């Protein structure tokens, strides 16, 4: 090597061991990484670890089979997945049009939509990590059916499938369930991702941003947690939450309408393996917000889009220490201490047999 020339991996190792910023190409936003801060003592808030055991049926749970829900309706004695209209929906399908304000600083628009709840299982005690791959595949079947049905509605442009797991993520009921919100307009986060993917596609000879990104991540392998023939789970280079991960498909899938049998079974497998690793990290039912970003609906083709799922877990150093997005994070930019590479290495090293 010529004198004065430093190998590129050594340069990156030096950069990544000191404070630096990373760009999220999906949103155009920057993230501050501060690896040296892991050495500081912690005297902040400590979350109480929730109980690890629950009954298979809870007579007071408004999501268990046969029980009365908070809104007064009664659940059927369902045996698999169960989907119903949210009794306290944030969106309404018949919201009236809003009157435009003459001043653009006070812009508002109508937002029609539908909110649904999906119970993953009749068993109150389970989570995705504890369900079989076949049972998770049934949840994916329900997601696919709901995406197809809601996406076909004339006034809907975006279908957001997500799960809030754990009390510290705002989940008010521990019964295994998620939500689906279908909106008239494309929300902020998917809109940013749509613009970034479209711009990349147009300036890179028709290649998809997430295809190129995944190819490079698989080649480097340092942030890959686990993978199969259909999906890969990795810690994004720009991850802002301590153990944030992203699921990416091996095939060019824009949304769940493109799924084949292998895509569904592969997703069930990767969800089981990843969520089991999460639980094994601190030997606790690991909290997170998880959701799928998919191409906008409405009949148009979106060749620049790739479906993907984001996992945003809040735990940092243990089951009792939570990462907060406050101060600098709220006023300036997201910041993390543990590097994405170390987070991936930690998750990758964990067993896929649930503790």
Per-residue tens of pLDDT for the chain, all 355 residues: 344 443 445 445 666 788 999 999 999 999 999 987 765 544 445 455 655 689 999 999 999 999 999 889 999 999 999 999 999 999 999 988 877 888 989 999 999 999 999 999 999 999 999 999 999 999 999 999 999 999 999 999 999 999 999 988 989 899 999 999 999 999 999 999 999 999 999 999 999 999 999 999 999 999 999 999 999 999 999 999 999 999 999 999 999 999 999 999 999 999 999 999 999 999 999 999 999 999 999 988 999 999 999 999 999 988 888 899 999 999 999 999 999 999 999 999 999 999 9
Return the number of other C-beta atoms located less than 10 Å from residue 331's C-beta.
7
pLDDT for 12: 56
Give, as one character, the DSSP assignment of residue 239: -
Whole-angstrom Cα distance, residue 33 to residue 180? 33
Q: Are 187 and 160 in contact (CB under 8 A)?
A: yes
d(CA 123, CA 121): 5
Residue 300 resides in a domain: yes
* Structural domain span for residue 300: 196-348
In a domain, 240, yes or no: yes
pLDDT score recorded for residue 191 = 98
Query: Would you name the residues annotated as active-site residues?
Result: 177
**Is 274 within a domain?**
yes
Tell me, what's the pLDDT at 283?
Answer: 92
pLDDT at 98: 77
Does residue 73 lie within any of the structural domains? no
Q: Name the 3-class secondary structure at 293.
A: strand
Classify residue 84: in a domain, yes or no: no
Count up the domains in the chain and report the number: 1
**Contacts of residue 206, Cβ cutoff 8 Å, sequence gap at least 6:** 303
| pLDDT at residue 2, as a whole number | 40
What does 68-89 look like in DSSP terms, one character per residue? BPTTS-B----SS-EEEE-TT-
Note whether residue 56 is domain-resident: no
Q: Which tokens is 105 given?
A: 């600083």
Is there a domain that residue 90 lies in? no
The answer to the question of residue 269 being in a domain is yes
- Please give the full DSSP string across 103-133, using - where no structure is assigned: SGGG-----BEEEEEEES-S-TT--GGGS-H
Residue 222 C-beta-side C-alpha neighbours within 13 Å: 9
Rg for the chain, CA atoms, rounded: 21
Rounded CA separation 22/16 (Å) = 10
Length of the chain: 355
Please tell me what DSSP assigns to residue 295: P
- In angstroms, the CA 285 to CA 50 distance is 8
CATH number for the domain spanning 263: value is 3.30.428.10
């Amino acid at each position: 090597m010529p004198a004065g020339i430093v190998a590129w991996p050594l340069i990156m190792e030096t950069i990544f061991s000191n404070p630096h910023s990373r760009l999220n190409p999906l949103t155009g936003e920057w993230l501050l990484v501060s690896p040296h801060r892991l050495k500081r003592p912690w005297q902040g808030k400590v979350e109480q670890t929730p109980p690890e055991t629950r009954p298979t049926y809870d007579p007071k749970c408004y999501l268990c089979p046969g029980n009365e829900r908070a809104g007064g309706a009664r659940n059927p004695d369902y045996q698999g997945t169960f989907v119903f209209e949210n009794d306290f929906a944030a969106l309404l399908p018949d919201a009236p049009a809003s009157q435009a304000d003459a001043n653009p600083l006070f812009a508002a628009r109508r937002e029609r939509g539908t909110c649904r709840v999906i119970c993953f299982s009749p068993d109150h005690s389970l989570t995705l990590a504890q369900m079989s791959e076949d049972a998770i595949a049934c949840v994916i079947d329900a997601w696919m059916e709901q995406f197809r049905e809601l996406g076909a509605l004339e006034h809907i442009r975006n279908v957001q499938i997500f799960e809030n797991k754990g009390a510290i993520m705002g989940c008010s009921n521990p019964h295994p369930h998620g939500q689906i919100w279908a909106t008239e307009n494309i929300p902020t986060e998917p809109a940013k991702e749509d613009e970034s993917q479209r711009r990349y596609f147009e300036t890179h000879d028709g290649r998809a941003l997430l295809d190129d990104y995944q190819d490079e991540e698989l080649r480097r392998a340092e942030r890959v947690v686990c993978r199969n023939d259909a999906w890969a789970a990795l810690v994004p280079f720009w991850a802002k939450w301590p153990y944030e991960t992203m699921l990416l498909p091996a095939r060019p899938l824009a949304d769940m309408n493109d799924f084949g049998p292998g895509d569904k079974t592969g997703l069930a497998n990767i969800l089981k393996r990843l969520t089991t690793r999460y639980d094994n990290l601190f030997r606790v039912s690991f909290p997170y917000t998880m959701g799928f970003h998919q191409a906008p609906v409405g009949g148009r083709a979106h060749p620049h889009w790739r479906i993907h799922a984001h996992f945003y877990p809040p735990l940092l150093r243990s089951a009792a220490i939570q990462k907060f997005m406050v101060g600098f994070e709220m006023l300036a930019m997201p910041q993390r201490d543990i590097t994405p590479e170390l987070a991936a290495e930690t998750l990758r090293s964990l067993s896929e047999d649930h503790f």
